[in-house]
Amino acid sequence: MAQATGQAAPQSRGLILIVEDDGAIADVQRLYLHRAGFGVHIEATGEAGLEMIRSQRPVAIVLDVGLPGMDGIEFCRRLRARDDWTPIIFVTARDEEVDKILGLELGADDYMTKPFSPRELVARIKTVLRRGQAGPRSGVLCVGSVVLDPDNRTVTASGVPVELTAREFDVLAYLLATPGRVYSREQLLSAVWGQASYTPGRTVDVQIAALRSKLGAASPIHTLRGVGYTARSLPATSASP
C-alpha cells in the first residue's frame, strides 16, 4: 500500500517511484521532483514497490538500499529478473565502493550516498532519462559484428539481440561512436556519468566487464593498459588484447 502519493504536475515529465522507508526523506524528494514536473508515487517497502510496478509504469525508480525486509539490492535483482529495465537510482547511507559496484552489476543506473541535495537527485534523474531517450548521435553504429541502434536503443552481437542496462548501452554507444579512439576512465566517467568527481573509477571497469560478458566473442572493446578503453574490430588472425 502506498505510503504517500504526489499528484502528477501539469505537463508531467513522467511518474517517479520512490521506495524509501523514511517518510521525511521521501517527502522532501517528492516535493523537489514535483516542482520539476514529475509525478511521484512513494512506497515504504520493496515488496510494495514491486507490486506497484505491476500496475503502473514509472519512468525511473529512486531506491533506498537499506529497506526493511527486502532490501534495495534484492529489489533490483527481482525487477531485472522480470526483464524490466526501468532506470534505477540507488540511495544509501553507506559509502562503500563494494555496494556501488554490486548495484551497478545488478543493473542500477546511478548511485547516491546520503546525505545529498534533493536538487542533485532531480538533476541525476533528468540525466538518466535523457540518456534513455537518445543515443550520442543519429544513425546505426557498427563495429565488427556488434550493431547498435541509438534510436531504438537496441544492440545485436553476431545477429543475436543483447539486453543491456541503460548505463551499459550508453558506455557502448560512446565507444562505438568513435571507433579506434582511446578513452581514459576519467573521460568515460565525465562523458557518460556526468559526475566524474562523485563516481569511483572502478565503476567503469565494472561496466566494461559486464559489456564484454554480454557481447561475448563479438565484443569490440579492447583495453590499453594504463591508458583506457577503445572499440575496434581486429582481423581474424590478430589476437585480441
The pLDDT score that the predictor gives to residue 95 is 61
Q: Report whether 128 contacts 110 (CB < 8 A).
A: yes
CA 165 to chain centre: 6
Residue 188 has pLDDT above 90, yes or no: no
The pLDDT score that the predictor gives to residue 119 is 92
Separation CA 49–CA 235 (nearest Å): 49
Residue 193 has pLDDT above 50, yes or no: yes
Q: pLDDT-derived band of residue 137, with 50, 70 and 90 as boundaries?
A: very low
| Span of 4-8, 35-39, 180-184, 199-203 with lowest mean pLDDT | 4-8
Q: Report whether 70 contacts 51 (CB < 8 A).
A: no
> What is the model's pTM?
0.56
The pLDDT score that the predictor gives to residue 191 is 75
The pLDDT score that the predictor gives to residue 210 is 92
The pLDDT score that the predictor gives to residue 241 is 38
Q: Transcribe 180-235 into DSSP letters.
A: T--B-HHHHIIIIIS-GGGS-THHHHHHHHHHHHHHGGG--EEEETTTEEEE----
**Strand 39-43 versus strand 15-19 pairing type:** parallel
The pLDDT score that the predictor gives to residue 4 is 43
What CATH architecture does domain 141-231 belong to? Orthogonal Bundle (1.10)
Q: pLDDT-derived band of residue 9, with 50, 70 and 90 as boundaries?
A: very low
Same-fold call for 4-133 versus 141-231: no
pLDDT digits (tens, 9 = 90+) for 35-90: 998 989 999 999 999 999 988 888 899 999 889 999 998 999 899 888 788 889 98
What's at 144, amino acid-wise? G
Q: Where are the domains of the chain?
A: 4-133, 141-231
| Span of 102-111, 120-129, 153-162, 195-204 with lowest mean pLDDT | 195-204
Residue 189 has pLDDT above 60, yes or no: yes
pLDDT digits (tens, 9 = 90+) for 153-187: 899 998 899 999 888 998 999 899 888 888 888 88
The pLDDT score that the predictor gives to residue 133 is 55
The pLDDT score that the predictor gives to residue 110 is 82
- Of 25 and 100, the structure prediction assigns the larger pLDDT to 25
- Of 195 and 140, the structure prediction assigns the larger pLDDT to 140
- For domain 4-133, which CATH number applies: 2.70.98.40, 3.20.20.80, 3.40.50.2300, 1.10.10.10? 3.40.50.2300
3-state secondary structure 8-47: CCCCCCCEEEEECCCHHHHHHHHHHHHHCCCEEEEECCHH
The pLDDT score that the predictor gives to residue 236 is 35
